[in-house]
Structure 1
């Protein structure tokens, strides 16, 4: 899919958070990817289009919504309107009392 098609789909779906520019969606921040608690129970996938998909235990896509990263801070708004935030410190995501670490790419292991 081309960048124009992706941007058009984002605009139609309303996936961009207020304040997120199209340039940001086309040039993702360095935190895009999978973030996982040490026990593997909570998994946040931060997508380059400003959406996230959170799994909990065996429940895939338990929460989904939009997010925005400003510096090392992340703001979440799930599809029901619930809001949350977190901080990235030394490549660790601190969110809602949880500690999530970047899941390494299996190719790199």
Structure 2
């Protein structure tokens, strides 16, 4: 289920960011993602699928990666990303 939320899938849609703000990953509801690195917007783009709390990524060049949501934190390969909260 690409980017969708089902009873057995964690809601991952939204922006995830590293603690230092250098890497921002936007997981879109249509199963696409855009990743920014520093000032470089859309440094990586591709698609993702969600199975339970596990994510599989395939970027537009064919590179693959994985991630897992644990305790509300996205562990994406060697990165740790936190869900960005918009100010109320």
TM-score normalised per structure 1: 0.72
Unaligned stretches of 5+ residues in structure 1: 1-19
1:104 and 2:88 equivalent?
no
Q: Which has the larger radius of gyration?
A: 1
1:51 and 2:32 equivalent?
yes
Q: Which of the two has greater helix per residue? A: 1
Give the paired residue count.
83
Q: Which of the two has greater strand per residue? A: 2
1:79 and 2:60 equivalent?
yes
For the aligned residue pairs, the C-alpha RMSD in angstroms reads 1.2
SS at match of 2:61: coil
Q: Which has the higher contact order (CA 8 A, sep 6+)?
A: 2
Aligned counterparts of 2:87 and 2:34: Cα–Cα separation in 1:
20
Aligned counterparts of 1:34 and 1:65: Cα–Cα separation in 2:
15
Which portions of structure 1, spanning 4 or more consecutive aligned residues, are displaced by more than 2 angstroms?
none
Aligned counterparts of 2:63 and 2:78: Cα–Cα separation in 1:
16
User: What does 1:1-109 correspond to in 2, within 5 Å?
Assistant: 20=1, 28-29=4-5, 30-107=11-88
